[in-house]
Structure 1
């Protein structure tokens, strides 16, 4: 897309919202808007979907494309994508179906398994279902992770070391949704791999190793995720070449199996037998400290502003 074409377009960056990830989304939206302006889009405006004026503005003003920077509920789950599809407004990222599939971690695991992507043993629970602690331990083991099944970030996640900690972890996870996922705790190196798709093809970004330098950090939760990320992101990941390449292959496989478009980021644990997928985020964080922009900075041929521009171009092409 030529720069003069970009300058004539009107872009709505959708951010904020009412999910538990609102503040992160606002930061992502501001960063994306700045990047689009840098790439030559003159008329770029951030719309907070939680504002009372949002529906009126998105339905009555002439937008050429929407850049989605919403995280969590109403953003990554296909809700905003459905609205934009109904309004015939092109939008960045994955479609309604792909967004909903990736957002539901239980459903995503079924898709991974069908595609031959290694997954962790787990069990899903719905709110008000009977909780059989012994059955859970038999399924996933005494050490496990409990997390909301329909949430895209680190909110509501607990690491459980024994059966006595399970009830509180389950209660906490249910604060963020009506379905939770309990998975075995895998031992290994935690990594994440971004995927970038353009009209020319699809590629995996450099593999990031998540390191815990903060004392007492048990896993990559909110207490370390957005605090001085340079201390906890190691790029490229210090894993074997075989596991490095395999993780990139699996990230692309997950992107394709779920039907994602534009960008995604999949998280893995590298075990003794290789990478095991944890989840796929269809709208990765776009803040200065987020993993996806960090991966872009560690490539030789990509800059964040042009990645954002390419996502707009792909959205417009898909809408033809």
Structure 2
């Protein structure tokens, strides 16, 4: 009997359009002989099932079910394709755990931890995973530009602590521009991380659980003429993504080991995609995404393809893993 799979997409953050695109890629590629797929749009003002005619049917939040054509539809598994809140910050993973419904992303604690850049890097640092020098601010804190520059130097990156797709990030070259960059970051989060600039090759490393085993996918090298890998570089074709990356054997081994170690230390499941910058042969982690982009142009699907894994195989494996481990 075919399993009912709810593909959740949308979300409460500015990444909702990217999520809808990726969610539809999952919907179009998930094995229709094995699964009945349902597109579930989750927004702050509505949770709805969207059928083939784009008609909307409300989701009952009490048991995550849908009344459709006179039948109550319940779900055997949820495919999480939401970036940002509430899919990537632990809220929905916790809800589905309470509902007893398996879902494809990592558990709620890992979601919340990895969504918080400051906490993620702090947890991984004792395990030898390097990261840039950093300075933290919370909304309302006094802004001491001299202390910031003394700690992280110039140029530096001012980032919203809990945001994706490079929203709320500025590269700052002059001390006088710090406050404006901080205000921009506060538009996206009430916590900020300010990091030293790392001048080196940037790479993205996908680590997934595939057919029951942890698998590191071929590494992607990020090349952009933009000042950094910002939103336009990611989504408006203003970057070149080279998979597999042009790395020496020692760099490949070092970043593969670091990404796999992070996945294991955090007791991850499902997909992850971590960003690193090399200083010499050593990779420095920037962040980890636990619901990475799933559009055909996104990095994780590119990496899977380079590994000989089709989109259908990639998505089916995530569902099967969730049903086996979390069911």
> Which band: TM-score by shorter chain?
over 0.9
Cα distance in 1 for partners of 2:279, 2:155 equals 16
Cα offset, 1:228, TM superposition: 3.2
Q: Is the 8 A contact 2:134 2:151 kept in 1?
A: yes
Match of 1:306 in 2: 313
- Give the alignment's TM-score, normalised by structure 2: 0.90
Structure 1 consecutive aligned stretches of length 4 or more whose deviation exceeds 3 Å:
none
Cα offset, 1:42, TM superposition: 4.0
2:36 to 34, 37, 43: 43
Cα offset, 1:303, TM superposition: 1.3
Match of 2:22 in 1: 28
Match of 2:64 in 1: 59
Cα distance in 1 for partners of 2:307, 2:208 equals 12
**Alpha-carbon displacement from aligned partner over 1:222-254 (angstroms, at most 9, x marks no partner):** 11211237x510111112111012111111111
**Alpha-carbon displacement from aligned partner over 1:169-188 (angstroms, at most 9, x marks no partner):** 11101111110110000010
Q: Is the 8 A contact 2:10 2:17 kept in 1?
A: yes
Please state if 1:225 is matched with 2:234.
yes
Match of 1:240 in 2: 248
1:139 to 147, 151, 166: 151
Cα offset, 1:53, TM superposition: 4.1
Cα distance in 2 for partners of 1:42, 1:117 equals 39
Cα offset, 1:199, TM superposition: 4.7
Q: Is the 8 A contact 1:76 1:152 kept in 2?
A: no
Cα offset, 1:273, TM superposition: 4.3
| Local SS of the residue matching 1:197 | strand
Cα offset, 1:275, TM superposition: 0.9
Q: Is the 8 A contact 1:111 1:257 kept in 2?
A: no
Question: Number of residue pairs matched?
Answer: 308
**Alpha-carbon displacement from aligned partner over 1:23-46 (angstroms, at most 9, x marks no partner):** 0000110011112145x3441011
Match of 1:205 in 2: 217
Cα offset, 1:317, TM superposition: 1.4
Q: Is the 8 A contact 2:31 2:316 kept in 1?
A: no
Cα distance in 1 for partners of 2:221, 2:184 equals 27
Long gaps (5+) in structure 2: 49-58, 66-72
1:282 to 290, 294, 311: 290
Please state if 1:115 is matched with 2:127.
yes
Match of 2:3 in 1: 9
Cα distance in 1 for partners of 2:198, 2:325 equals 38
Cα distance in 2 for partners of 1:42, 1:238 equals 38
**Alpha-carbon displacement from aligned partner over 1:63-101 (angstroms, at most 9, x marks no partner):** 010000000121111001011111111100100000011
Long gaps (5+) in structure 1: none
**1:256-267 alignment runs, 5 A limit:** 256-267=264-275
Cα distance in 2 for partners of 1:218, 1:44 equals 40
Q: Is the 8 A contact 2:212 2:321 kept in 1?
A: no
**Alpha-carbon displacement from aligned partner over 1:106-130 (angstroms, at most 9, x marks no partner):** 1101111022111111012111111
Cα offset, 1:257, TM superposition: 1.9
Q: Is the 8 A contact 1:205 1:299 kept in 2?
A: yes
Cα distance in 2 for partners of 1:96, 1:223 equals 30
Cα distance in 2 for partners of 1:108, 1:200 equals 25
2:201 to 189, 197, 211: 189
Which structure is higher in helix share? 1
| Local SS of the residue matching 2:60 | helix
| Local SS of the residue matching 1:49 | strand
Structure 1 range deviating more: 234-243 or 22-31? 234-243
| Local SS of the residue matching 1:278 | strand
